[in-house]
Structures are given as structure tokens and as C-alpha cells.
Amino acid sequence: MTQQSSKYTVDDVKFVRDTVGAGMLECKQALDKFDGDRLLAAGYLNYVGCAVARWRYEDGKRIDDREEWAIRMAHKYKQDHLTKPNQAKPS
């Protein structure tokens, strides 16, 4: 058996955990989902937590697909933090 190479490092997992306070497994799954992009993973986990609590509305329309909404918001989170890099660091 060959071991698959990971698309992220231990530091990436730590960054996501420190940023959103999620568990290690959730962080690894999010990093897998976004091919190791830690800002997308952090944004996704951040917004998945928001989406679970209640339905969201965007532009006056109800968002029925919480997964799709969370992915869109993760991309927005990444874009916001690329333009303001100091805010991407965990507090």
C-alpha cells in the first residue's frame, strides 16, 4: 500500500483550528474539500456553523442549499482576508 500525500500540513490544520475553533477532524475534512486552501477551509467551517442554526437569506431569496451557501461564503471569506491579510491570523 502507498500512502497518499496530503495537500496540507500540520500548520494548516493548526491555523484552521485556531481560527474557527473546530475539531481536528472537521479541519482536515475542510482542508481536503478545498485542496489544502486554509482560508477557504476556515471560511467554510465558519459559515457552516452559521448555516446549521437557521435558514439564510441572500438578496431577498431563501437559501435552501446550505452547503452551496457555505462554499460561496468561504470564497468571500478568503477574498476578504486576501485584501486584509492581518485579519486572517487567529486571535
- pLDDT of res. 60: 61
Query: What's 6-22 look like in SS3?
Result: CCCCHHHHHHHHHHHCC
Domain ranges of the chain: 10-85
49-65 pLDDT per residue, tens: 755 544 556 666 666 67
Identify the CA nearest to 74 among candidates 11, 10, 16, 8: 16
Q: Which regions in the chain score pLDDT beneath 70?
A: 1-5, 50-64, 84-91
At residue 19, what is the residue type? T
Residue 17 contacts residue 46 (beta carbons within 8 Å): no
- Helical pair 10-20 and 38-53, crossing angle rounded to 10 deg: 30
Candidates 31, 33, 67; CA nearest to 50 is 67
What integer pLDDT is reported at residue 8 of this predicted model? 93
Which residues on neighbouring strands pair with residue 62, listed in sequence order? 57
